[in-house]
Amino acid sequence: MKLYYFPGACALACHIALEWTGAAYQTVRLSQASTKSIEYRQINPEGTVPVLEHEGRTLTETAAILFYIAEKYPHTSLLGSDGPYGRADVIRWVSYLGSELHPTFRQIFHPRRFIDGRDGVEAMIKTAKETVRTRLVKIDKHLQGRSWLTESRSIADPYLLVILRWAESVGISIDEMENLLGYKGRMLSQDEVLAAITSEEGRRTSAGDST
Ligand SMILES: N[C@@H](CCC(=O)N[C@@H](CS)C(=O)NCC(=O)O)C(=O)O
């Protein structure tokens, strides 16, 4: 498998999932600017990462790539271990992160894509940050008494880690969200998670401009 990414992007979630499989894979490092090149747009017309290439096929969209990795390596049990409910619960969380949280960061990282002039930019960013914070508070409550978002560790977890890193990089503190803090610590204590982060960012610890 070959994963296209740039540092700080949501592709990190797929990178962590690949590490969890223990299988061999390759990565292609891009810059955000180079995702707009004519060459890259032939791979992904959207001009975004992640992209996964495997067995002559190209897959885009974080959720699809996460599910593909999990399906290809069932021994990892990254799709939930509990029959139809367990699987649906993983879909629920990947959907929630991908549709309710991930897009909200676009308004924070790329306000000019939403508003032309200066007017309204600050207000939009402020509202988006409040929205993220409100949702993180809900996730913090959900994590009470749980180690992972779902019954067992799943592909939803590295996606949440990406969201947490973005939140902190734009000043949304999770210091008072004890369950999320513990969760982040649990994720960062895993060798595979650190390996993916280090391979993308070296010693860098913040997420930076990404979505
Ligand atoms: N819906 C896509 C969104 C992908 C996306 O927004 N990727 C960001 C990085 S997190 C990107 O490549 N941004 C480059 C840009 O918009 O210029 C997915 O879930 O994969």
Task: Tell me the per-residue pLDDT of 111-168, one tens digit each, with 9 for 90 and over.
Answer: 999 998 778 999 999 999 999 999 999 999 999 999 999 999 999 999 999 999 999 9
Least confident of 30-44, 105-119, 158-172, 193-207: 193-207
Residue among 55, 63, 71 nearest 21 (CA): 71
Residue 30 Cβ inside 6 Å of ligand 1? The answer reads no
For the record, the structure tokens of 138 come out as 């809900």
The confidence score (pLDDT) of residue 211 equals 54
- Identify whether residues 186 and 119 lie together within a single domain: yes
Give residue 49 CA to ligand 1 midpoint distance, Å.
5
pLDDT at res. 207? 41
Residue 30: which domain range?
Answer: 2-77+196-201
- Average pLDDT for 88-102: 98
Instruction: Answer yes or no: do 68 and 87 share one domain.
Output: no
Number of domains in the chain: 2
CATH number of the CATH domain containing 64:
3.40.30.10
Q: Which atom, in ligand 1's list, is nearest to the CA of 11?
A: 10
- Give yes or no for residue 154 CB within 6 A of ligand 1: no
Percent of the chain residues topping a pLDDT of 90: 90
Average pLDDT over residues 11-20: 98
What average pLDDT does the segment 174-195 reach? 97
Sheet holding 51-54, edge to edge: 26-29, 2-5, 51-54, 57-60
